[in-house]
């Protein structure tokens, strides 16, 4: 099968990671796959794609909508015979649909949303986009909660499918007993924006300190988003940390990092108190590494984490609830933490492989 994949970039986001994994997974199974990106300067996962020998078509655009992108897609579709096209993220989905219409070529089109309905800031824009999905053959979400939401739109009901993320699992890491310390090491992985909820987490650490007399060590890996809301929440969080220097001393901003698996392997617990999600890469990566997690009880997290089984859940709107989840984790015995980590790894092996993800997309595309 010949497949064209469309996404904004190969930068460091979760959707971009999954597109790179999917493209490489298709290539490994013998399909011919090519990529189209329109922010080529973002290259975090480009080496992975290049090493797999996957051609990448590039078109550069500035902010806002640009006809250059669907025209470029149409040109590629007219120049070669593709059986299918897969796009990730709302704007890319729009461009893929327009490119298909402009090309005059019939390809099987799968569009995918990678977040949750809570991320629909511009409701009219989201509605118009989903109206355009009438031209797609399938609409994929990477969480069951978002699939359920999309089925509310009658014209999409029969088209919606859920495909979980996929990863190269590697070997199960050997378990290492927690070294006795006066604090636990927490890791947050995610871009710094309003949805990742940094201020509530900082407030939770203040409560933890007042109740327990110490502060968990916390490192945050991920790039700073540059939109106004994201810069504001970073400023507010840093101001809060300055006003609570004990918390600030325990909090480390790491920025964008290429060694996330190593960071996960070196922490005691991955903390993810986000306000909304699709299926977050960091929780899946923690499971692969056999690490328990503390996650917000939103979207698919209760199904993915299963409170007390592969990690602990909290209310992301309540710093008190986040604090109590940290306290619950601290109270676990080493055997209980190990059991959670082992359950997380088993889940990853059963549900989160690249082969499983590629197979799910192959079924949608009608071939293998």
Q: Is the pLDDT of residue 176 over 80?
A: no
Summarize the confidence of residues 280-301 as an average pLDDT: 95
Could you tell me if 195 and 276 are in contact, meaning their C-beta atoms sit under 8 angstroms apart? Answer: yes
What are the tens digits of pLDDT across the range 97-150? Answer: 999 999 999 999 999 999 877 666 567 888 999 999 999 999 999 999 999 999
CA dist list (Å): 120 to 188, 191, 195, 301, 354: 24, 18, 12, 19, 28
Percent of the chain with pLDDT over 90: 87
- In 213-316, where does DSSP find H-type helix? 228-243, 245-250, 260-265, 281-288, 301-305
Neighbours of 182 (CB within 10 A): 8
Q: What is the pLDDT of residue 368?
A: 47
Instruction: Kindly report the average pLDDT of the chain as a whole number.
Output: 93
Confidence of residue 31 (pLDDT cuts 50, 70, 90): very high
What are the tens digits of pLDDT across the range 182-203? Answer: 689 999 999 899 999 999 999 9
Q: Which of 192, 165, 201 is nearest to 256 (CA)?
A: 192
Neighbours of 66 (CB within 10 A): 16
Compute the CA torsion angle 328, 332, 336, 341 (nearest 10 deg): 60
Q: Is the pLDDT of residue 64 over 60?
A: yes
Domains identified in the chain and CATH numbers: 2-168+353-365 (3.40.50.2000), 185-351 (3.40.50.2000)
Contacts of 158 (CB under 8 A, 6+ apart): none
Q: Is the pLDDT of residue 335 over 70?
A: yes
Neighbours of 168 (CB within 10 A): 12
pTM score of the predicted model: 0.88
Q: What is the pLDDT of residue 174?
A: 63
């Amino acid at each position: 099968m010949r497949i064209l994949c469309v996404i904004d970039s190969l930068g460091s986001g979760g959707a971009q990671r999954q597109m790179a994994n999917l493209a490489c997974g298709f290539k490994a199974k013998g399909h011919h796959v090519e990529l189209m990106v329109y922010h080529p300067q973002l290259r975090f996962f480009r080496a992975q794609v290049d090493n797999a020998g996957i051609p990448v078509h590039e078109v550069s655009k500035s902010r806002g909508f640009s006809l250059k992108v669907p025209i470029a897609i149409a040109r590629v579709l007219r120049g070669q015979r593709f059986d299918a096209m897969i796009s990730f993220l709302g704007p890319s989905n729009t461009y893929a649909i327009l490119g298909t219409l402009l090309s005059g070529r019939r390809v099987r089109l799968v569009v995918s949303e990678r977040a949750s309905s809570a991320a629909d800031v511009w409701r009219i824009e989201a509605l118009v986009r989903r109206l355009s999905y009438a031209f797609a053959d399938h609409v994929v979400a990477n969480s069951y909660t978002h699939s359920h939401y999309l089925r509310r739109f009658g014209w999409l009901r029969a088209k919606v499918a859920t495909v979980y993320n996929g990863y190269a699992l590697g070997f199960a890491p050997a378990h290492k007993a927690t070294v006795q310390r006066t604090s636990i090491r927490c890791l947050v992985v995610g871009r710094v924006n309003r949805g990742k909820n940094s201020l509530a987490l900082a407030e939770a650490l203040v409560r933890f300190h007042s109740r327990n007399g110490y502060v968990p060590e916390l490192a945050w890996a991920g790039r700073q988003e540059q939109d106004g809301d994201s810069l504001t929440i970073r400023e507010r969080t840093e101001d809060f940390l300055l006003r609570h220097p004990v918390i600030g001393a325990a909090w480390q901003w790491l920025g964008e990092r290429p060694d996330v698996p190593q960071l996960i392997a070196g922490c005691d617990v991955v903390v993810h108190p986000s306000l909304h999600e699709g299926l977050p890469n960091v929780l899946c990566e923690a499971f692969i590494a056999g690490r328990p997690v503390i996650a917000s009880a939103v979207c698919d997290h209760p199904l993915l984490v299963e409170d007390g089984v592969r990690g602990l859940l909290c209310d992301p709107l309540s710093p008190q609830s986040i604090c109590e989840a940290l306290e619950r984790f601290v109270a676990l015995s080493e055997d209980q933490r190990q059991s959670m980590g082992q359950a997380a790894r088993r889940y990853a092996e059963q549900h989160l492989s690249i082969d499983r993800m590629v197979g799910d997309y192959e079924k949608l595309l009608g071939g293998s």
